[in-house]
Amino acid sequence: MDEIDGPARQITFGALFREPYSHYLGWLYARLQERGFPDIRVAHSAVVRTIDAEKGSRVTTLAERAGMTKQSMAYLVDSLIDLDYLEIVPDPKDKRAKLARLTRRGRKLMATAAALGAEYEALLAGRIGADKMAELRRLLTRVATALPDWKPGE
């Protein structure tokens, strides 16, 4: 982890967020590959974590939510279409627009990832204790709700 030198020599705030998340992502994507999704990559999370799982989303909306360019998001969406996780359908609210929507395989991916997330949380609770895990969840929820309304890059 990143550390700073000096009398206090402590782990940086950024590392305290980054390291556990990086560990989780590595664990999650290794398990996804084991469970029938060998072609899914961490980069695809920009789509998976921002898509409306019920209705689908426009590429521009996905890009905005992920804090990336429309072109970069379109590349990821095209990749997931080729891998049969997404399909393109007309937007019922605007016939000129298109939505990226989860396919059956995409919904299975989302369900598997959610189950794995719960499994990871239980594993972590086993390492730090159920009481500490509950406290961590409460604190992270508080942090998430206390963040100002800003978009990456501003």
pLDDT tens per residue, range 48-67: 999 999 999 999 999 999 99
89 domain-assigned? yes
pLDDT band at 26 (very low <50, low <70, confident <90, very high): very high
Does residue 99 sit within a domain? yes
Mean pLDDT, all residues of the chain? 92
Is the pLDDT at 15 greater than 60? The verdict is yes
Domain span at residue 33 reads 23-146
Burial of residue 108 (CB within 10 Å: 0-12, 13-18, 19+) is middle
CATH number for position 63: 1.10.10.10
> Angle, nearest 10°, between helix axes 104-128 and 130-146?
120
For residue 18, is it within any domain?
A: no
In-domain check, residue 6: no
- 3 state DSSP class of 56: coil
For the chain, the domain total comes to 1
* 40 domain residue, yes or no: yes
Least confident of 12-16, 89-93, 113-117: 12-16
Query: What is the structure's pLDDT at 149?
Result: 73
pTM: 0.84
Task: Report pLDDT for 5.
Answer: 54
Domain presence at residue 4: no
Query: Does the residue 84 lie in any domain?
Result: yes
60 is a domain residue: yes
